[in-house]
Amino acid sequence: MITVTAASGHLGRLVLTDLLDRGLPAEQIAAVARTPEKVAAFTARGVQVRQADYARPDTLGVALAGATKLLFISGSEVGQRRAQHRNVIEAAQAAGVGMIAYTSILKADTSSVPLAEEHLATEHMIRESGLPFVFLRNGWYLENYTEAGLPQALATGSVIGSAGTGRVAAATRADFAAAAVAVLTAAGPVSPAGTVYELGGDQPFTLAELAAEISRQVGREITYQDLPADVYAKALTDAGVPEPMAAALAASDVGIARGDLTTDSGDLSRLIGRPTTSLADAVRTAIVG
Ligand SMILES: NC(=O)c1ccc[n+]([C@@H]2O[C@H](COP(=O)([O-])OP(=O)(O)OC[C@H]3O[C@@H](n4cnc5c(N)ncnc54)[C@H](OP(=O)(O)O)[C@@H]3O)[C@@H](O)[C@H]2O)c1
């Protein structure tokens, strides 16, 4: 049984779709969701949907029962994830899962990005659990720029950020999902020492290059405006982003300036067996659909 947690999120749904599209029998897939209504389409396709909340250990035992391979997708409640993730790992241990693949963050062990702290703590807990593991250290989603940032850039003529000339190895969620599926469906034993993948797009870009690409595709000038982190965070809160998330995003841009969210590992394209989706293609899809 391949079990996928946070199945109701964007990444989880892409993973489930990819598994089914590759012909994996639906009865061999379990989708663990805090909000099962969001994955009703997969219930209809024969996937076993199980309700569980990372914050409620009593829900996790039944949800993870029978998992030979577990894709543990990190939760989204920043600040609560250390305790929540401990619950998931303890339940995975109790269920005797054969392998746990965890979606971490690029360079979790050296990153200065505050969001990396809970990921690194989770990695430590997984190592200490003794379970065979794979860390999928995902870079930034391209969608952070093409969904959240693009409308703002088109409306104001500027991409804003605090990343300076730092590069970000962003990749689409679909590419990260395909990497997870490759790990979940790989034949052969998992390395007893664990495996760590540093996953990012093949062509890391600066935010000035992002602005130039949008500019090229829309046929008018879009510039990159580099802001001090506090000014950028304020611009995000003014645009409706909750304050803690705005602070985290601004701090992440400072991390990009330091090189924390880039990689030249090539792990992502190797795992998915093709080049990663380019910035140009992602921007084109966002603009023309
Ligand atoms: N690399 C990046 O750029 C980036 C960006 C954003 C997030 N992330 C991380 O990657 C993860 C997956 O990305 P995504 O795009 O799928 O995020 P998403 O669409 O926001 O989905 C988050 C998922 O986490 C689930 N979740 C949150 N708290 C939970 C809890 N206490 N118990 C059980 N499930 C819980 C949500 O369940 P509900 O549907 O019930 O809310 C949802 O399924 C995120 O959760 C976050 O850790 C990475």
Best probe residue, ligand 1, of 8, 76, 102 (max atoms within 8 Å of C-beta): 76
Cβ 89 vs Cβ 129: under 8 Å: yes
pLDDT cut 70: percent of the chain above it: 100
CA–CA dist 187, 184 (Å, integer): 9
74 lines ligand 1 (CB under 6 A): yes
The angle, 0 to 180 degrees and rounded to 10, between the axes of the packed helices 207-218 and 279-288 is 50
Strand partners, 72: 102
What pLDDT sits at residue 48?
Answer: 97
11 CA to centre of ligand 1 in angstroms? 8
Cβ 84 vs Cβ 117: under 8 Å: no
167 CA to centre of ligand 1 in angstroms? 24
What pLDDT sits at residue 189?
Answer: 81
Nearest to 125 by CA among 63, 78, 186, 72: 72
Please give the number of the atom of ligand 1 that sits closest to the Cα of 55.
Answer: 31
Going from the C-alpha of 26 to that of each of 2, 187, 272, the distances in angstroms are 10, 18, 22
Q: Which residue's alpha carbon is nearest to atom 19 within ligand 1?
A: 9
5 CA to centre of ligand 1 in angstroms? 9
| DSSP single-letter state for residue 4 | E
Please give the number of the atom of ligand 1 that sits closest to the Cα of 173.
Answer: 15
- Coil, helix or strand for 45? coil
Please give the number of the atom of ligand 1 that sits closest to the Cα of 143.
Answer: 3
36 lines ligand 1 (CB under 6 A): no
Contacts of residue 42, Cβ cutoff 8 Å, sequence gap at least 6: 7, 13, 16, 20, 31, 49
What pLDDT sits at residue 3?
Answer: 98
Q: What is the mean pLDDT of each run of 10 residues along the chain (289 residues)?
A: 98 98 96 96 96 98 97 96 98 97 98 97 98 98 93 95 98 98 92 93 98 97 98 95 94 98 98 98 92
- Coil, helix or strand for 3? strand
Structure tokens that stand for 190 in this block: 């998992």
219-277 pLDDT, tens digit per residue, is: 999 999 999 999 999 999 999 999 999 999 999 999 999 999 999 999 999 999 999 99
What pLDDT sits at residue 167?
Answer: 98
75 CA to centre of ligand 1 in angstroms? 5
12 CA to centre of ligand 1 in angstroms? 8
286 CA to centre of ligand 1 in angstroms? 21
78 lines ligand 1 (CB under 6 A): no
144 lines ligand 1 (CB under 6 A): yes
| Count of Cβ atoms closer than 10 Å to residue 216 Cβ | 12
CA–CA dist 241, 262 (Å, integer): 24
CA–CA dist 207, 193 (Å, integer): 37
Q: Which amino acid makes up residue 176? A: F
Domains contained in the chain, CATH given = 2-139+171-199 (3.40.50.720), 143-168+202-263+273-288 (3.90.25.10)
Exposed/middle/buried for residue 60 (C-beta within 10 Å: 0-12, 13-18, 19+): buried
38 lines ligand 1 (CB under 6 A): yes
Contacts of residue 192, Cβ cutoff 8 Å, sequence gap at least 6: 132
CA–CA dist 98, 271 (Å, integer): 20
10 lines ligand 1 (CB under 6 A): yes
Cβ 236 vs Cβ 250: under 8 Å: yes
First to last CA, the chain: 35
Q: Kind of pairing, strands 48-51 and 29-33?
A: parallel
Please give the number of the atom of ligand 1 that sits closest to the Cα of 13.
Answer: 16
Confidence (pTM)? 0.98
Q: Which amino acid makes up residue 249? A: L
Which run of H or E residues covers position 283? helix 279-288
